[in-house]
Structure 1
Amino acid sequence: IGSVLEVFYDRGYVGGFQFVDDGRSGRFEVELKGAINECGAVKPRYSAGAEEFEKWEKRFLPARDYGTLIVTTSHGVMSHYEAREKGIGGQVIAYVY
């Protein structure tokens, strides 16, 4: 969850977040900016190559270059923009816009 929140923060969807150890399993406190219209998990997880992200953008996002797909790769969790820039594929796990 922390990795996904890091992508949300980097893309400007949340103002900040921190992990709070409450003596049990812990929790995240998130500062919302009001920039999220919708977000959701993608199930089942879809594999996507670096050149295939446009297909998944059309499926999960309302318009081209509006919103972000969250992708898990061999290099960690990142936005589809960053994965495309690095030329790596992965599995689409969530979306936000």
Structure 2
Amino acid sequence: MSDQAEKLAQTATYTPSGGSGSSINGVFDNGDGLVDLGGRVGVTANDPQFVCRTSDVSSAAEGDALVTGSVNYTIRDVIDDGTGMTTLMLETD
């Protein structure tokens, strides 16, 4: 098991479009950060993501739902890193 997989302590509910929800574990990151646009002023960006085992979300797709910390998210991108971990890029509903 990878070091990252051992840290999957946050529970979320993943629901595919038209399907039923299932409980998965992962690491949530709200993704707040400053984006440098090449000028003197940066822009704050919010890019929430949830990293979990690929086997837990093997059929995940854009438009599916994830609920964690009582917040509803829509999955806007699914990034499988090829090591057994997948990053779900999220947006709030």
Give your verdict on TM over 0.5.
Answer: no
Q: Which has the higher contact order (CA 8 A, sep 6+)?
A: 1
Q: Say which structure is richer in strand.
A: 2
What is the TM-score of this pair, normalised by structure 1?
0.27
